[in-house]
């Protein structure tokens, strides 16, 4: 028998969360919206938060401080780089904060974040917008359920709050 009452790898977990930075400024929240649904142990959420949730049960409320290394990484970029807008498809809906994937010449994918979009150029940064930030989460666990075999294979949850495809 597997116990599905406490959070462990291979379970789909729903959480309500509020994220603030060191100054207490609100960065993101699920409040007033659907909870965030993720597959535990599949790196769907930042490692520091995933680790803190381990073993918790429905109804638990946690306050979690996550260092940059366990969050969105240390800030390492030397600043955004400009790329001509016409390097992207004309109909691409580009916006600040959007994550895209670029490829090296050997075909390895790596993430970049859009910082700013203008008519003729796009500013790209290799750092996540929250790189270097200590993250302050307030979290409430609202649901825990077993993942389906398909969800385990895909590495993310399906259905309400999850991927649709």
Please give the residue ranges that form the binding site for Zn ion (CB under 5 A): 154, 163
Residue number with CB closer to Zn ion (51 or 163) = 163
Q: How far is the CB of 12 from Zn ion (least distance, A)?
A: 12
Residue number with CB closer to Zn ion (145 or 154) = 154
Residue number, nearest CB to Zn ion: 154
149 phi, psi to nearest 5 deg:
-60, -35
Q: How far is the CB of 158 from Zn ion (least distance, A)?
A: 6
Q: How far is the CB of 165 from Zn ion (least distance, A)?
A: 6
Q: How many helices (H) and strands (E) does the chain have?
A: 2, 9
How far, in Å, CA of 163 to CA of 98, rounded? Answer: 18
Residue number with CB closer to Zn ion (4 or 163) = 163
Q: How far is the CB of 100 from Zn ion (least distance, A)?
A: 20
Residue number with CB closer to Zn ion (78 or 164) = 164
Tokens 């008519």 sit on residue: 119
* CA proximity to 37, closest of 57, 55, 18, 14: 14
Contacts of 34 (CB under 8 A, 6+ apart): 160, 161
Beta carbons of 88 and 145 less than 8 angstroms apart: no
């Amino acid at each position: 028998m597997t116990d599905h009452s406490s959070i462990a790898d291979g379970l789909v977990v729903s959480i309500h969360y509020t994220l603030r930075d060191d100054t207490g400024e609100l960065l993101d929240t699920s409040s007033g919206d659907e909870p965030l649904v993720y597959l535990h142990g599949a790196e769907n959420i930042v490692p520091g938060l995933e680790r803190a949730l381990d073993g918790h049960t429905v109804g638990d409320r946690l306050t979690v401080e996550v260092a940059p290394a366990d969050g969105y990484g240390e800030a390492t970029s030397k600043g955004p780089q400009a790329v001509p807008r016409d390097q992207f498809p004309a109909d691409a809906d580009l916006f600040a904060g959007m994550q895209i994937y670029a490829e090296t010449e050997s075909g390895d994918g790596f993430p970049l974040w859009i910082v700013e979009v203008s008519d003729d150029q796009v500013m790209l940064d290799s750092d996540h917008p929250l790189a270097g930030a200590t993250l302050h989460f307030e979290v409430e666990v609202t649901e825990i359920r077993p993942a389906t075999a398909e969800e385990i294979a895909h590495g993310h949850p399906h259905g309400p709050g999850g991927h649709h495809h």
